[in-house]
Amino acid sequence: MSRINTLLVLLLVVMSGLAVQPACAETFGQFMAEFARSAKSSPGFQSFSAANGEQFFKSTHGNEWSCASCHTEDPANSGKHAKTSKVIKPLAPLVNPERFTDPTKVEKWFKRNCNDVLARACTPQEKGDVLTYLLTIGK
Amino acid sequence: MPFDNRNTLRMSAVIILLGGMMSVAQADDDHEHHEGGRRAVATNAAWQEECGSCHVAFPPRLLPAESWREMMSGLDKHFGTDASLEPAVAQEIAAFLEQNAGKRKPDPVAKPLLRISETRWFIREHDEVPQRVWKNPLVKSPANCAACHTLAESGDYRERNIRMPK
Q: What is the pLDDT of residue A28?
A: 84
Q: Is residue B141 in a domain?
A: yes
Q: Kindly determine whether residue B11 and residue A23, on different chains, have CB atoms separated by under 8 Å.
A: yes
Q: Which of B1, B81, B147 sits opposite A116 (nearest CB)?
A: B81
Residue A26 CA to residue A52 CA, distance in Å, equals 24
pLDDT at A12 over 60: no
Q: Is residue B166 in a domain?
A: no
pLDDT tens figures, B16-75: 555 445 444 444 343 333 333 345 678 899 999 999 999 999 999 999 999 999 999 999
B57 touches chain A (CB under 8 A): no
B111 in the same domain as B157: yes
pLDDT tens figures, A40-74: 988 888 999 999 999 999 999 999 999 999 999 99
Q: What is the pTM of this model?
A: 0.85
Q: Kindly determine whether residue B82 and residue A112, on different chains, have CB atoms separated by under 8 Å.
A: yes
pLDDT tens figures, A109-129: 999 999 999 999 999 999 999
B122 in the same domain as B48: yes
A·B CB contacts under 8 A: 64
Q: Are B81 and A65 in contact (CB under 8 A)?
A: no
* Total count of domains within chain B: 2
Residue A43, exposed/middle/buried by CB under 10 A (0-12, 13-18, 19+)? exposed
At the fourth CATH level, the homologous superfamily of domain A23-134 is Cytochrome c-like domain (1.10.760.10)
Q: Is residue B112 in a domain?
A: yes
Q: Are A98 and A90 in contact (CB under 8 A)?
A: no
Q: Is residue B133 in a domain?
A: yes
Q: Which of residues 35-74 of A touch B (CB under 8 A)?
A: none
